[in-house]
Structure 1
Amino acid sequence: MKTNEVLENIKARRSVRAYTDQQISYENLQTILEAATYAPNGMHYESWHFTAIQNTDKLTELNNRIKGAFVKSDDQRMQERGHNQSYCCYYHAPTLVIVSNESTQWWAGMDCACAIENMFLAATSLGIGSCWINQLGTTCDDPEVREFITSLGVPENHKVYGCVALGFADPQIPKKEKTVKVGTVTIVK
C-alpha cells in the first residue's frame, strides 16, 4: 500500500489513558487548537467552541462535578464511578479541551467529531498523547456541571459533544497495537 507522512501519522495515533505530569507547551496547544479550527464543518458555520483547561484545580473541580452528576444517575455503573474516590474521567491528563457547539444544527456533533480527530492527529504529529473523553457530554446539562463549564468559557447555549485529553504518554504503559477487523471494508466497482 502507498504511504506518506500523513498516513503514517494516522496509523500511529492511539488513545492514551495514562499521562506524565509534564504540561504541553502553549505553542503546541495553539497548534492543536488551530488544527481543530480547520476541520470540515456544516455550511462552514463554525459555530463550535474550544475551551482548553490547563489549570489542575479547575480540572479537579470539573471531575468532581461530573462525578456528582454521575451519583444522581439512574445508571448503576455511573453511580459507582461517581462514588469512586480515584475515578478521573480525563485520566489525569494535564490539558483538557472541551469541544462544544450549538445544538440547533443536526450536524453539530459531526462538526465536533471532525475537529476532535484533527486535534488527535495534530497531537500525534507533535509527540503528544490524546484520548476522547465522553463524560462531560452526558453530564453537561446537570445544573452544577453547567454552571462550572459556563464559568470556564463554554457558551451557555452549547452542548458538549466531547473532550480531548492531551499530555505526554506515560512511558511505562505500552502502546497498544492496532489490528483492523477483517471484513471492515467493502469496495464496490
Structure 2
Amino acid sequence: MTITYRLGDSLYVNMTNRCSNRCDFCIRNYGDGIGGSGDLWLDREPTVDETVQDILKNVSGCKELVFCGYGEPLMRLDDVIAVIKAVKPKIGIPVRINTNGQADLIHGRQTAKELAGLVDTVSISLNAPNAKEYEALCHSDYGEKAFDAILKYAADCKKYIPNVVFSVVDVMDKEDIEKCRKIAEDIGVIFRVREMIK
C-alpha cells in the first residue's frame, strides 16, 4: 500500500481513492501512479497512525508535505487534520493540500477554519470559468452547484491559510485560462497554470 511517495523535493500523502469528481483530465484515467510512486490504488484507506508513521519514515530531506494522492484528501478531513497535528511539530516543513475545493459540500459545514494554523497552502483545482463548463469537465457529485461552492471555499480559506491558489490545467484554451485568472484575482488568491500529467 503506497501511503507516501516523493515527487521532486516534496513528500506526497495518499490517504484515499475516494473523490467527489470524475474529471476528464484526471491522472487516474491514465495509469496506476505518477513518476516512481508505485501503485496509488489503495486496497483500504490507511489509518491515521499508519499515515503518521509512513510520513515520519520517509520525510527526511523533503521541503514540503503535500496531501495529494489518487483521491480527494479532504474526503477524510478529520483524519488529515489528525495527521497534520501529529507530524507538523516534528517535521518542520510547510504543509500543502491539493483539493477540488468541495470540502464544505462533502461535510455539510464550513471547513476552512479547521485548517487554520495547520496548513500553509491550499491549492484548489478550478479548471473552468463557469459552473456549466466545470460540470461538463469535472462531473461532480454535486452538479453545477459545486462551482460556486469552490469559489466560496477559496474565499473562506483566504481568511485562515497563508497561501490560497486556484489552479487550471494547461490544456484549456487561452481565453478560458484568462477568465479563470480573473476569478482568482477577484477573490484575491494566487493563480497557477499547471501542466497536464499523463
TM-score higher than 0.5 here? Answer: no
**Higher Cα Rg: structure 1 or 2?**
1
Name the structure, 1 or 2, with higher relative contact order (CA <8 Å, separation 6+).
Answer: 1
TM-score class, shorter:
under 0.3
TM-score where L is the length of structure 2: 0.24
TM-score where L is the length of structure 1: 0.24
